[in-house]
Structure 1
């Protein structure tokens, strides 16, 4: 299935950075990773750097699926507020999830550090109240985060107006956020792994899995097989193809990016991610080359042709919403696009085995608005499971929580 529409900026600006060979013979390894996007790359890197013989298989070109369409806002905030997560799973688990995501930003910085060209930058995050009725929940959210040691400041309407130049009833300001070029980071990680001896196969479509007590065999459409002790399914929303149980719903999100803008026009967006309480929410950030990137207008459409037809209209809506906040801004759009993603009912990801396949098949479903942050956490969680070690996030991020 086509995962994106229009002209995703990362794919346009970077092009096809490198083609890896397709699988052309049978292969053996410790861990096979099915999916060559940012999630698969982070997991493969974590495993390979800790001594596992890894093979990555991608049915398209590397990074050419949802990764190329991602707007890559790296945040600790989960789509489900900490207050609501606490009501559902308890305050301790809610705090565990939020604090882990905050720590993942630092982990991603370390992962991206070897390359100056992946667009990684630390940011602030400004989360503003779209409506006056959102202020009270925001105050409760602020109090709970502060109680658990997260550095976040509650801003009044006057403070938002004075410091940021737009009208909002209130806002939460945090410093634990970042941004990255996800497509380029994916390629840099897998290029390094390939040089180090890790097998990376693109244009390799897996059509069948067979599990035993000792391992997993993957069969490709061309008739070759990969035998591995463990399999990690990191194929984005397409991972649901391998499960009979419906664990998430597909959504499409839309984005538009401007021509390069002068620093004085970007203003606070040079180092701050902007997003809102309304659902679906508008979000904005800048890029390393001074462009303004807007995203949002999510809907339930996941049929490529219908999604394609909506891209330009959605882009115009995003620009109108920006103009409502900043009437004086003149923004010329350069590219617009859409991508299909998946989201869970509680905003949390799924990592680990499912009873349908047994303990040798691990899923990496980093679903939600902060999928890259989840992927970083999932890399460590899955390594712990494969090494038969306990991990504090396992109960909360596993399929077992569906039974709570």
Structure 2
């Protein structure tokens, strides 16, 4: 699948950070992870930390799929609001799903601190504003539900929102204390470099042509006819993972993003450089970068083909720049990079994590929406437990038969 087009910011910023080999003769493996993006990197990290030997296979260069196009907002908010998720799965499960995402932000922070190096990780606040006056009542219900379960949130009425963000719609907003942002491309390479130092094997530009599932393991046939046998297989190929399932679990969309040139301002670009997003669907979202750029994304369309997606990129980029200038007219916004990509959403906004009966000895981590990096943390925890035979009480929340 053609996942990206244009100029993905993280790739242009960082370039080809590290080189990884193609596999030579490979002995039978304990665990193979298919996918060299952030999901595969976190999966490899969790398994490596448990002392489990891991071999990674990536058909592109490492981090060059959806990861290089991610806008890397780390938000506990699931694309399905808490009040709606409660209607779908009940209070206990919905609140647990949100709580796990909050915990995942702290776990990303702990991993970054352990790895060291520079991945531009920063804790942030997050502002979720009502796009229209009619959305305020639903937003207030959402605020009440989050406050009730103990999430650190504040309610901003029209006046407070206008005081801090004069040009956003004069409605109301939820301000959350728990959010973060990161350079996800750098983080992916930092994770893999750490794992390689601990004995993991990471190979890229190698394509798995065929997968054969057996009772005692899995055989992978590569595009050069080489065979690799493994006891356990983890498919962490992002939005392409759906190709390995007969059950349709994700809907594909095209999304667009632009990033400005650096702005020569000493102060934050806006209130605490918080992450900003809206209640409208599809939604706009905005963040800053470590070098004082503004990133704005959204304008999603239902995905039909990469050709149709790419034809819209110039128009969508102009629309995003118009929104940036409208909401922040005092900023000297000039587009520096623009790109578009394909992403997936699920029926309830939650990922699919775990195994399916049709593929023995195989685990899936897929169906990530707007906060896919945090879902990748959950997938890494759950699947690493399952591989070790440990019962993870949260696995049922994201199971394929939920």
Normalising by structure 2, report the TM-score: 0.97
How many Å separate the matches in 2 of 1:258 and 1:27? 48
* Cα 1:168/1:153, change in 2 over 3 Å: same
Specify the SS of the correspondent of 1:124.
strand
How many Å separate the matches in 2 of 1:283 and 1:168? 17
How many Å separate the matches in 2 of 1:245 and 1:389? 26
Q: RMSD of aligned C-alpha atoms? A: 1.3
Q: Which of 287-296 and 188-197 deviates more?
A: 188-197
Q: Which runs of 5+ in 1 are unaligned?
A: none
**1:318-337 C-alpha deviation (Å, 9 max, x unpaired):** 11122222333330000000
> Is the CA contact (8 Å cut-off) linking 2:250 and 2:367 kept in structure 1?
no
Specify the SS of the correspondent of 1:51.
coil
Residue 6 of structure 2 corresponds to 6
- Kindly tell me the number of residue pairs found equivalent between the two proteins: 400
How many Å separate the matches in 1 of 2:330 and 2:182? 28
Q: Is 2:304 the partner of 1:330?
A: no
Q: Which of 126-135 and 157-166 deviates more?
A: 157-166
Specify the SS of the correspondent of 1:117.
coil
Residue 387 of structure 1 corresponds to 388
Specify the SS of the correspondent of 2:111.
helix
How many Å separate the matches in 1 of 2:89 and 2:302? 26
How many Å separate the matches in 2 of 1:264 and 1:118? 21
Q: Which runs of 5+ in 2 are unaligned?
A: none
Give how far 1:269 is off: 5.5
Residue 347 of structure 1 corresponds to 349
Residue 156 of structure 1 corresponds to 157
Pairing 1:304-319 to 2, within 5 Å after superposition: 304-319=306-321
Give how far 1:302 is off: 4.7
Q: Is 2:136 the partner of 1:142?
A: no
Specify the SS of the correspondent of 2:270.
helix
Residue 297 of structure 1 corresponds to 299
Residue 34 of structure 1 corresponds to 34
Specify the SS of the correspondent of 2:295.
strand
How many Å separate the matches in 1 of 2:117 and 2:289? 14
Specify the SS of the correspondent of 1:19.
coil
How many Å separate the matches in 1 of 2:252 and 2:116? 33
Specify the SS of the correspondent of 2:325.
helix
Specify the SS of the correspondent of 1:355.
coil
Give how far 1:262 is off: 3.0
Give how far 1:266 is off: 4.6
> Is the CA contact (8 Å cut-off) linking 1:54 and 1:199 kept in structure 2?
yes
Q: Which of 181-190 and 19-28 deviates more?
A: 19-28
**1:92-134 C-alpha deviation (Å, 9 max, x unpaired):** 1100000000000000001112334111000000000000111
> Is the CA contact (8 Å cut-off) linking 1:37 and 1:67 kept in structure 2?
yes
Residue 362 of structure 1 corresponds to 363
**1:176-196 C-alpha deviation (Å, 9 max, x unpaired):** 000001111101111121122
Pairing 1:264-275 to 2, within 5 Å after superposition: 266-268=268-270, 271-275=273-277
Normalising by structure 1, report the TM-score: 0.96
* Cα 1:303/1:270, change in 2 over 3 Å: farther
> Is the CA contact (8 Å cut-off) linking 2:324 and 2:333 kept in structure 1?
no
Give how far 1:271 is off: 3.1
Residue 211 of structure 2 corresponds to 209
Q: Which of 254-263 and 231-240 deviates more?
A: 254-263
Specify the SS of the correspondent of 1:10.
helix
> Is the CA contact (8 Å cut-off) linking 1:253 and 1:296 kept in structure 2?
yes
Residue 282 of structure 2 corresponds to 280
